[in-house]
Amino acid sequence: SSGSDENDVVVVGGGPGGYVAAIKAAQLGLKTTCIEKRGALGGTCLNVGCIPSKALLHSSHMYHEALHSFANHGVKFPSVEVDLPAMMGQKDKAVANLTRGIEGLFKKNKVNYVKGYGKFISPSEVSVDGPEGGNTVVKGKSIIIATGSDVKSLPGITIDEKRIVSSTGALALTEIPKKLVVIGAGYIGLEMGSVWCRLGSEVTVVEFAPEIVPTMDGEVRKQFQRALEKQKMKFMLKTKVVSVDTSGDVVKLTLEPAAGGEQSTLEADVVLVSAGRIPFTAGLGLDKIGVETDKVGRITVNERFATNVPGVFAIGDVIPGPMLAHKAEEDGVACVEFIAGREGHVDYDMIPGVVYTHPEVASVGKTEEQVKTLGVDYRVGKFPFMASSRAKAIDDAEGIVKIVAEKETDKILGVHIMAPNAGELIHEAVLALQYGASSEDIARTCHAHPTMSEALKEAAMATYDKPIHI
């Protein structure tokens, strides 16, 4: 099938926003083409984001456990070592299998896949420069922009992906750096920092803001930082990187307090720049068709994901909202439902966020600070994993569940979990928020014993009444 036939829907970008939109569109009976320049489907998330980082987080966690925890459980080895090429190989294999899996899903759902760089020549035509030269024009009644995001660079710091790396380079280092400096204490910096810290690097995280992961509930954030410090990660908060000198054998960073003051230096073998991500629309020709963007380059859309240009839509990291894969997927499905004449809905207040360190931190809804700012009377219920029988049984009890509920109605406003498996535990809370549940609703729901999930039930009991186990 050729991309030049008229499509109902053309999707530019094959990341979690774009490929999910394309599959959903085809499932709704729309003739669909997806254009991707990378040579592989899955976008940032699958190729250089969520998936490879989780692979390395798991592998490095196993090594760390073997070194520091197995003996406590009576499991002994004469010695434990890291085979970095094998570790990277397992990550690459997972990525390769999954990208091929999406190609299979495209075939199954009859989505036409065009490889190459797409650019608008009109609101209903995208010209695609193929990877081996050649050009096709793909026409569509509706076009969805799902071009995602890219690493945000810092002024004066050139990323070479060897010694000065973005997350992409940090996922493919060929040696374990002795000293790793991470610029930016967002979730990506902390996850990648954790990987290399566990594998033996001395990791220092430099952050301009007074705290790590700014979106996190303050109380949970404090415990989280302490947990990472126990794993020997160092933090320099309220600190600015003034310059990075790569002329010598080691990289020299010049630092300065965020508020100004005396400079200091820091040495590193590798520097990871993880100061955020920016929407990616380079070479797409948005100005040619007049698609509006905001101050930071995000495409402006209405609640139906429509841009200001009729027939052109946008989803995922390239529009406002949390820059997360599952948010991009939700956008993609809802956008296509609108195009197909149905109703779709994404509530950005109910998108869970997870930091996949150990312990993990997961949250949904509002932090205590946000609830305070809203002036709502509220109650807080907490339960520490130190009091969870399952957490004690497995000797992995660092963490807490914290629930914030409206005082008058007991309606849950936010749930924050730090625990080994917080990213899985959070979904009970997401469902509760989605259905407008009260803390009593969770507390009166039977939870299997012994599970980590019981901590959520106990925290719910602590919100409107009293917990049993503490």
Binding site for ligand FAD (CB under 6 A): 12-18, 35-38, 43-45, 49-50, 53, 117-118, 146-149, 167, 188, 280, 283-284, 316-317, 323-326, 328, 356
C-alpha 241, offset from chain centre = 24
Residue 36 or 458: the one with the smaller Cβ distance to ligand FAD is 36
Beta-carbon count within 10 A of 463 CB = 27
Shortest Å, Cβ 135 to ligand FAD = 13
Question: Given the complex with ligand FAD, which of 136 and 167 has the nearer CB atom?
Answer: 167
Residue whose CB is less far from ligand FAD, 301 or 405: 301
Smallest separation (angstroms) from ligand FAD to the CB of 187: 7
- Distance separating the N- and C-terminal Cα atoms of the chain: 64
Sign (positive or negative) of CA dihedral 130, 136, 137, 140: negative
Tell me if residue 326 is catalytic: no
Smallest distance from ligand FAD to CB 39, Å? 9
Tell me the C-alpha distance between 204 and 272, whole Å.
Answer: 10
Q: Which residue has the tokens 């690459």?
A: 92
Q: Which helix (H) or strand (E) holds 405?
A: strand 400-406
Q: What is the distance between the alpha carbons of residues 292 and 265, in angstroms, rounded to a whole number? A: 43
Separation of alpha carbons 151 and 144, rounded Å = 22
Q: Residue 344 CB, nearest distance to ligand FAD (Å)?
A: 16
Q: Which is nearer to ligand FAD, 220 or 319 (CB)?
A: 319
Pairwise CA distance, residues 173 & 422, whole Å: 28
**Measured from the CB of residue 208, what is the shortest distance to ligand FAD in angstroms?**
19
From CA 31, how far away is CA 421, in angstroms rounded?
A: 40
Q: Residue 331 Cβ, how far from ligand FAD at the closest point, in Å?
A: 8
How many residues are recorded in the chain?
A: 470
CB of 147 to ligand FAD, least distance (A): 4
Contact criterion met (CB below 8 Å) for 305 and 329: no
Closer to ligand FAD at the Cβ: 50 or 333?
Answer: 50
Give the three-class secondary structure for 437: coil
Q: How far apart are CA 413 and CA 428, in angstroms?
A: 14
Which residues sit opposite 279 in a β-bridge?
149
CA separation for the pair 417, 354 (Å, rounded):
9
Cα gap 39→99, rounded to integer Å: 10
Is the distance from CB of 206 to CB of 294 less than 8 angstroms? no
Residue number with CB closer to ligand FAD (113 or 117) = 117
Residue with smaller CB distance to ligand FAD, 332 or 399: 332
Q: How far is the CB of 234 from ligand FAD (least distance, A)?
A: 21
- DSSP secondary structure letters along 279-338: E--TTS-HHHHT--B-TTSPBP--TTSB-SSTTEEE-GGGSSS---HHHHHHHHHHHHHH
Instruction: For ligand FAD, give the closer residue by CB, 255 or 323.
Output: 323
Strands 277-279 and 270-273: unpaired
Answer whether the bond into residue 359 is a cis peptide, omega within 30°: yes
Rank residues 22 and 442 by Cβ distance to ligand FAD and give the closer one.
22
Which element (helix H / strand E) includes 11?
A: strand 6-12
Spatial separation of the C-alpha atoms in residues 274 and 189, rounded to whole Å: 5
**Within the chain, how many helices (H) and strands (E) appear?**
14, 22
Quickly tell me which residue has 């050729």 as its tokens: 2
Stated as kind and residue range, the H or E segment containing 323 is none
To the nearest whole angstrom, how small is the minimum distance from the Cβ of residue 67 to ligand FAD?
25
- Cα distances (Å, whole numbers) of residue 186 to 30, 192, 215, 434: 39, 10, 9, 26
Of residues 73, 345, 427, 449, which has the active-site annotation?
449
By annotation, the residues acting in catalysis are 449
